[in-house]
Amino acid sequence: MAIQIKVETNRFFDDLIVKFGGFSNILIPQIQKGLLQYGYKVEGESKRETPVDTGQLRSTIQTNPSIQSRGLTVRVAPHKAYASWIHEGRRIDPRFGLVTLKGRGVARTPAGGKPYMKIGAEKSEDYGRRIMRESVQSAINQLK
């Protein structure tokens, strides 16, 4: 289970950058910085929501930025095979097919799972909107 936060550019945006010359040299780094801060916020909130037995699942949640052809992306995801079982509350057992987990372990994960990544993303939405507005405003202020 991964949460991807993506900022995509469109043709209008590309035209705007061309008209303002070197604006992309100011804007893109600001957006990258804001997007990374947003990703770290999602990571922190998701870690707070992760059920804990040993802490291994929580410790593997990481934020990874990337630049793709038409946008910037930050991927926040846990890196344990059982992460989706805890998140969704089910797993595939080769003997029985799809199996719903019952609350178990010290953390007593609910039978329906606990969507810790989704909850973390939802709790971070307002922060994300604010930090992205501030990033663009910071770039505009540098033009003045």
Name every residue whose Cβ is closer than 8 Å to that of residue 138 and which is 6 or more positions away in sequence: 30
Evaluate if residue 117 carries a pLDDT over 80.
yes
What is the percent of the chain where pLDDT is above 70?
A: 66
User: What pLDDT digit, counting tens, does each position of 16-60 carry?
Assistant: 666 667 677 888 888 889 999 999 999 999 999 998 888 899 999
Helical residues (DSSP H) of the chain, grouped into ranges: 11-19, 23-49, 56-59, 83-88, 116-143
pTM exceeds 0.75 for this model: yes
**Closest C-alpha among 133, 141, 140, 142 to residue 34:** 133
Listed by start position, the domains of the chain span 3-143
State which amino acid sits at residue 89: G
Whether residue 141 has pLDDT greater than 70: yes
First-to-final CA distance of the chain: 42
